Amino acid sequence: MVKLLSLIALCVAFCALTPSLTFASPAPSVGSIAPDFTLTSQEGTPVSLKDYRGKWVVLYFYPKDFTSGCTIEAHNFQRDLAQYQQKNVVILGVSVDTADSHKQFCTKEGLNFKLLADTDHKVSSTYDSLMTYKDMTLAARHTFIINPEGKIVKVYTDVNPNQHSTEVLAALAELQK
């Protein structure tokens, strides 16, 4: 009995010392409802995923404004923006950069779609899209295609920024049949 009480006391002490112990949730998968969020856009206004119900959404996470791969990826989405709009698709880019950084990036690169600031990393974490690079926490290059009902219908975790927009448009053509 003394050993059992000691074991219980040890368990209670461990739990008291680790109140913030959390377990990472897996990325939302195909078939699941996309977790809702509200983030600030480059225009300084709040943007919620739920505001886009009834439209297709390409939710793409990218590491950092003004870097080569991220600039290429953004330029390709911008280049193809009219095709996305014809398909009733909204592009939402997310990184851990600030809204001001996004504003400067959009101005410099001529981007006309929403870039959202996830400065506290909560949305990137919810979508299992965080990585560490050279002691910096950045959004990982992941993309989620969300249908008009809010369901995730395609997930990309191995993204080549050079061809990603073309790849997403091809997937949308199949998904919208």
Give just the sign of the alpha carbon dihedral 32, 27, 18, 136.
negative
Residue with tokens 């001001």, as numbered in its chain: 100
With CA atoms as reference, report the closest residue to 114 among 39, 174, 168, 63. 39
pLDDT at position 158 is: 87
DSSP 96-135: SS-HHHHHHHHHHHT--SEEEE-TT-HHHHHTT-EEEETT
Mean pLDDT of 4-31: 49
Would you give the distance in Å from CA 26 to the centre of its chain? 13
First vs last C-alpha separation in the chain: 67
pLDDT at position 21 is: 34
Contact (CB, 8 A) for 126 and 35: yes
pLDDT band at 1 (very low <50, low <70, confident <90, very high): low
The percentage of the chain sitting over the pLDDT mark of 90, rounded to a whole number, equals 84
Contacts 24+ apart (CB under 8 A), 104-107: 104/65, 105/42, 105/65, 105/66, 105/74, 106/42
Question: Rounded to an integer, what distance in angstroms lies between the CA atom of residue 1 and that of residue 3?
Answer: 5
**Ordered structural domains, the chain, with CATH:** 33-175 (3.40.30.10)
pLDDT at position 26 is: 72
Mean pLDDT of 74-98: 98
Mean pLDDT of 92-99: 98
What pTM did the predictor assign? 0.85
Catalytic residue IDs: 70
In this predicted model, which residue has the larger pLDDT, 27 or 140? Answer: 140
Contact (CB, 8 A) for 126 and 22: no
Question: Rounded to an integer, what distance in angstroms lies between the CA atom of residue 140 and that of residue 129?
Answer: 5
Give the contacts of 146 (CB within 8 A, at least 6 positions apart): 34, 49, 52, 56, 57, 58, 59, 152, 153
pLDDT band at 6 (very low <50, low <70, confident <90, very high): very low
Contact (CB, 8 A) for 24 and 119: no
In this predicted model, which residue has the larger pLDDT, 20 or 93? Answer: 93
